[in-house]
């Protein structure tokens, strides 16, 4: 077809009137549509060149592509009209089409219009026709696809997880390079192998099962964990995520994602072991242990606590709690150590729920069985990140046996001291009698022995009196007189009585100048106890200072010695019954550890306080204060 000859292809401006022929070729075969219609309405550029490269036809699209009008271009050589075009592959390819007589197709990007074209150059006898198919959109889509493929490839290749693709039989077709990082194998070492080959012999069932499930449920992700042999021979725990994309065009594979979870598994194992150990410990301690949440609901009890609450096991208790059948607060009637009913809000667990660590020795009775217990309850609050109480852990130690033993011991001390009191009184009366007789006979030798005997009887009597006091205090039977006591006078009297028995100088500083109400003898006993201790525990010192002072409503007496002092760790327990500071040094200081207890009790029962300040090796100051009423 010679387009240049085709009248209908002429541009309207080009009318040289030379050729008038109008053949059937001017219209599309078998129709009345002229060719120009088609070329003009084509979305792509089209032009026809003669053998010299002169433009014999160009359509509307070609005008805008070449950025020149038909008037400017028709009849002129394209290579001259647009010299730049000579340097493009168009020139070469036109030559090629002309010389070979074969259609040449190629892709070409025009920087002038920033578009991609697929060019087809059709040779003809007259020259060539050039058809520019705009493929910019396709090129962009291809580029996007290429980019995203590149990104996905980078993701897969750099991922910490290994990825493989298998067919429906589990034969590996692709392995990502990260396989080397995960299991030590090069991808090519795994391709064509069966994916389950490396599974631990004990875990073999898992990959089989997972493959079956993956095949059954296309498109659904399946996760499993099993051990896989690393190239170095060790087994690693892997989390394997698989998906059947066999029906997905372009993928047509089962995708397997392998993640090494060995560390997590080890950690899980350690946590499980630690939990098991803890559970064994919790279940085997003699104490009952409960954990309640912030709403005081039980969330854990060990067996001991479950039994105490009347259930055969933790499971039984939790089931009963679920059914709302646990009323643990109604199960026991509770008293404090001195026998007063203990309200629910004062129990250690309740206090801990309010954020305070609490401890108490309580007497509790199981309302169902009537059994009485002594229980040491210690409750610890556990806080959440906001500082709110989240849980309370309570530990119940059964002290019943210990308490009963203690009570038997107290009972024995009470009986023994009562029993000892009478013979001692008689012994003392008889020494008095003997003393009178031998004095009359001037038997100085016997008098000396009698005086030593008397000293020992006095010591023994004091000991027995102390033990009796303890029993009375224990039983709450210590009675105190309510009389006006002149403390200055009392201090002076005690010091005067004691001074002849010691080489220490007993100095009095300050004065109270006021009386207090209390039991004069008992307060004298306190002064005596503290002063004898001050002397006893400062053998190298020469002085003991007694200070008396008062404020508007309290009177304070302190006894300062310059002796051995007391280590901090002992100070808290010093006022407990039978507590002594045991150290090698103390072997030289006789005593039963009851003087301070008695003194402390007496002061407390007067509504006062007793405390100690001390520096080890430098000396101690024992003080008490009493309310002035």
Any idea how long the chain is? 629
Binding mask 319-348 for ligand ADP (x = CB under 6 A): ------------------------------
Q: Does 470 bind ligand ADP (CB under 6 A)?
A: no
In the complex, minimum distance from the CB of residue 453 to ligand ADP, in angstroms, rounded to a whole number: 22
Nearer to ligand ADP, 362 or 544 (CB): 544
Q: Does 473 bind ligand ADP (CB under 6 A)?
A: no
Distance CA 588, CA 47 (A): 127
In the complex, minimum distance from the CB of residue 362 to ligand ADP, in angstroms, rounded to a whole number: 27
Nearer to ligand ADP, 3 or 534 (CB): 534
Q: Does 561 bind ligand ADP (CB under 6 A)?
A: yes
Q: Which residue(s) pair with 194 in the sheet?
A: 171
Q: Does 163 bind ligand ADP (CB under 6 A)?
A: no
In the complex, minimum distance from the CB of residue 348 to ligand ADP, in angstroms, rounded to a whole number: 29
Distance CA 295, CA 392 (A): 10
Q: Does 274 bind ligand ADP (CB under 6 A)?
A: no
Distance CA 417, CA 319 (A): 55
- 199: how many CB neighbours lie within 10 A of its CB? 21
SS3 track for 548-576: EEECCCEEEEEEEECCCCCCHHHHCCCCC
Residue with tokens 């578009």: 115
Binding mask 574-613 for ligand ADP (x = CB under 6 A): x----xxx----x----xxxxxxx----------------
Q: Return the range that interacts with ligand ADP (CB under 6 A); candidates 39-47, 186-194, 234-242, 559-567.
A: 559-567
The string of DSSP codes covering 226-287 is: EEEE-TTS-EEEEEEEEEEETTSTTT-EEEEEEEE-HHHHHHHHHHHHHHHHHHHHHHHSSS
Q: Return the range that interacts with ligand ADP (CB under 6 A); candidates 336-344, 359-367, 408-416, 558-566.
A: 558-566
Q: Does 557 bind ligand ADP (CB under 6 A)?
A: no
Nearer to ligand ADP, 485 or 596 (CB): 596
Q: Does 620 bind ligand ADP (CB under 6 A)?
A: yes
Residue with tokens 């059948």: 325
* Pair type for strands 515-518 and 505-509: unpaired
Distance CA 518, CA 483 (A): 5
Q: Are 290 and 300 in contact (CB under 8 A)?
A: yes
In the complex, minimum distance from the CB of residue 418 to ligand ADP, in angstroms, rounded to a whole number: 21
Give the SS3 label for residue 41: helix
Distance CA 4, CA 10 (A): 7
Nearer to ligand ADP, 66 or 530 (CB): 530
Nearest of 86, 126, 128, 78 to residue 103 by alpha carbon: 128
Nearest of 451, 428, 427 to residue 439 by alpha carbon: 451
In the complex, minimum distance from the CB of residue 591 to ligand ADP, in angstroms, rounded to a whole number: 2
Q: Return the range that interacts with ligand ADP (CB under 6 A); candidates 144-152, 182-190, 233-241, 532-540.
A: 532-540
In the complex, minimum distance from the CB of residue 610 to ligand ADP, in angstroms, rounded to a whole number: 12
Residue with tokens 């994309």: 245
Distance CA 179, CA 191 (A): 11
Chosen residue from 170, 518, 563, 608 binding ligand ADP by CB under 6 A? 563
The set of long-range contacts for 136-145, using a CB threshold of 8 Å and a minimum separation of 24, is 139/107, 139/109
Nearer to ligand ADP, 214 or 596 (CB): 596
Nearer to ligand ADP, 3 or 531 (CB): 531
Residues in binding contact with ligand ADP, number by CB under 6 A: 20
Distance CA 328, CA 252 (A): 63
In the complex, minimum distance from the CB of residue 505 to ligand ADP, in angstroms, rounded to a whole number: 16
Nearer to ligand ADP, 97 or 534 (CB): 534
Kindly tell me the burial class for residue 201, based on how many C-beta atoms sit within 10 Å of its own C-beta (0-12, 13-18, 19 or more): exposed
Nearer to ligand ADP, 290 or 623 (CB): 623
* Pair type for strands 104-110 and 115-123: antiparallel
SS3 track for 583-594: CHHHHHCCCCCC
Nearer to ligand ADP, 137 or 586 (CB): 586
Q: Does 537 bind ligand ADP (CB under 6 A)?
A: yes
In the complex, minimum distance from the CB of residue 579 to ligand ADP, in angstroms, rounded to a whole number: 6
Distance CA 618, CA 563 (A): 6
Determine the residue with CB nearest ligand ADP: 591
Nearest of 153, 146, 167, 151 to residue 255 by alpha carbon: 167
472 secondary structure, DSSP code: H
In the complex, minimum distance from the CB of residue 477 to ligand ADP, in angstroms, rounded to a whole number: 21
In the complex, minimum distance from the CB of residue 594 to ligand ADP, in angstroms, rounded to a whole number: 6
In the complex, minimum distance from the CB of residue 294 to ligand ADP, in angstroms, rounded to a whole number: 43
Q: Does 467 bind ligand ADP (CB under 6 A)?
A: no
φ, ψ dihedrals at 329, nearest 5°: -70, -25
In the complex, minimum distance from the CB of residue 580 to ligand ADP, in angstroms, rounded to a whole number: 4
Nearer to ligand ADP, 55 or 594 (CB): 594
In the complex, minimum distance from the CB of residue 485 to ligand ADP, in angstroms, rounded to a whole number: 22
- 347: how many CB neighbours lie within 10 A of its CB? 22
Nearer to ligand ADP, 381 or 563 (CB): 563
Nearest of 370, 321, 329 to residue 349 by alpha carbon: 329
Nearest of 75, 150, 137, 139 to residue 107 by alpha carbon: 139
In the complex, minimum distance from the CB of residue 611 to ligand ADP, in angstroms, rounded to a whole number: 12
Q: Does 490 bind ligand ADP (CB under 6 A)?
A: no
Cα Rg of the chain (Å, integer): 55
Binding mask 123-162 for ligand ADP (x = CB under 6 A): ----------------------------------------
Q: Return the range that interacts with ligand ADP (CB under 6 A); candidates 112-120, 133-141, 215-223, 573-581.
A: 573-581
Chosen residue from 162, 211, 306, 566 binding ligand ADP by CB under 6 A? 566
Distance CA 256, CA 412 (A): 80
Which spans in 10-100 are helix H? 35-41, 60-66, 70-73, 78-81, 89-100
Nearer to ligand ADP, 396 or 597 (CB): 597
In the complex, minimum distance from the CB of residue 539 to ligand ADP, in angstroms, rounded to a whole number: 11
In the complex, minimum distance from the CB of residue 417 to ligand ADP, in angstroms, rounded to a whole number: 16
Q: Which residues bind ligand ADP (CB under 6 A)?
A: 533-534, 537, 561, 563-564, 566, 574, 579-581, 586, 591-597, 620
């Amino acid at each position: 077809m010679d387009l240049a000859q085709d009248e209908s292809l002429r541009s309207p401006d080009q009318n040289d009137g030379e050729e008038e022929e109008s053949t059937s070729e001017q219209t599309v075969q078998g129709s009345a549509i002229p060719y120009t219609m088609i070329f003009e309405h084509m979305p792509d550029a089209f032009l026809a060149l003669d053998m010299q490269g002169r433009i014999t036809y160009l359509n509307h699209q070609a005008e805008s592509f070449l950025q020149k009008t038909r008037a400017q271009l028709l009849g002129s050589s394209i290579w001259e009209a647009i010299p730049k075009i000579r340097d493009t592959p168009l020139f070469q390819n036109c030559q090629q089409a002309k010389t070979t007589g074969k259609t040449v197709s190629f892709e070409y990007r025009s920087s002038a219009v920033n578009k991609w074209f697929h060019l087809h150059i059709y040779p003809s006898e007259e020259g060539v026709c050039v058809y520019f198919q705009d493929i910019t959109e396709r090129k962009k889509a291809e580029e996007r696809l290429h980019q995203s493929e590149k990104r996905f490839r980078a993701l897969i290749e750099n991922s910490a997880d290994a990825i493989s693709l298998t067919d429906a039989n589990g034969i590996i077709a692709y392995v990502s390079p990260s396989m080397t990082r995960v299991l030590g194998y090069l991808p090519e070492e795994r391709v064509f192998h069966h994916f389950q080959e490396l599974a631990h012999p004990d875990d073999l069932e898992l990959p089989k099962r997972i493959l079956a499930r993956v095949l059954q449920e296309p498109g659904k992700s399946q996760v499993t964990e099993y051990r896989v042999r690393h190239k170095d021979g060790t087994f690693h725990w892997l989390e394997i995520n698989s998906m059947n994309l066999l029906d997905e065009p372009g993928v047509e594979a089962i995708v397997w994602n392998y993640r090494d979870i060995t560390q997590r598994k080890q950690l899980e194992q350690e946590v499980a072991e630690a939990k098991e150990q803890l559970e064994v410990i919790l279940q085997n301690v003699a104490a009952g242990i409960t954990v309640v949440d912030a709403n005081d609901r039980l969330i854990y009890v060990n067996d001991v606590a479950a039994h105490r609450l009347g259930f055969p096991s933790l499971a039984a208790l939790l089931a009963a709690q679920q059914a709302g059948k646990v009323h643990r607060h109604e199960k026991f009637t509770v008293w404090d150590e001195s026998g007063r009913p203990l309200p629910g809000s004062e129990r250690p667990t309740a206090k801990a729920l309010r954020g305070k660590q609490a401890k108490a020795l309580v007497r509790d009775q199981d309302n169902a069985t009537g059994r009485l217990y002594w229980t040491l309850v210690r409750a610890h609050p556990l806080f959440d990140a906001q500082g709110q109480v989240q849980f309370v852990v309570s530990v119940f130690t059964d002290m019943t046996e210990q308490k009963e033993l203690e009570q038997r011991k107290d009972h024995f001390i009470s009986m023994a001291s009562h029993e000892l009191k009478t013979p001692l009184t008689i012994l003392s009366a008889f020494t008095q009698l003997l003393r009178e007789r031998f004095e009359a006979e001037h038997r100085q030798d016997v008098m000396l022995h009698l005086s030593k005997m008397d000293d020992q009887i006095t010591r023994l009597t004091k000991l027995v009196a102390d033990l009796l006091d303890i029993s009375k205090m224990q039983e709450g039977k210590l009675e105190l007189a309510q009389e006006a006591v002149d403390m200055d006078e009392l201090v002076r009297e005690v010091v005067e009585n004691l001074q002849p028995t010691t080489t220490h100088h007993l100095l009095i500083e300050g004065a109270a100048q006021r009386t207090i109400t209390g039991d004069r003898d008992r307060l004298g006993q306190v002064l005596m106890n503290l002063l004898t201790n001050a002397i006893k525990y400062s053998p190298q010192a020469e002085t003991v200072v007694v200070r008396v002072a008062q404020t508007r409503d309290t009177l304070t007496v302190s006894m300062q010695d310059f002796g051995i002092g007391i280590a901090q760790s002992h100070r808290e327990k010093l006022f407990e019954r039978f507590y002594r500071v045991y150290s090698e040094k103390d072997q030289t200081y006789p005593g039963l550890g009851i003087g301070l207890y008695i003194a402390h009790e007496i002061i407390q029962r007067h509504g006062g306080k007793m405390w100690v300040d001390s520096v080890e090796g430098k000396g101690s100051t024992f003080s008490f204060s009493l309310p002035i009423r």
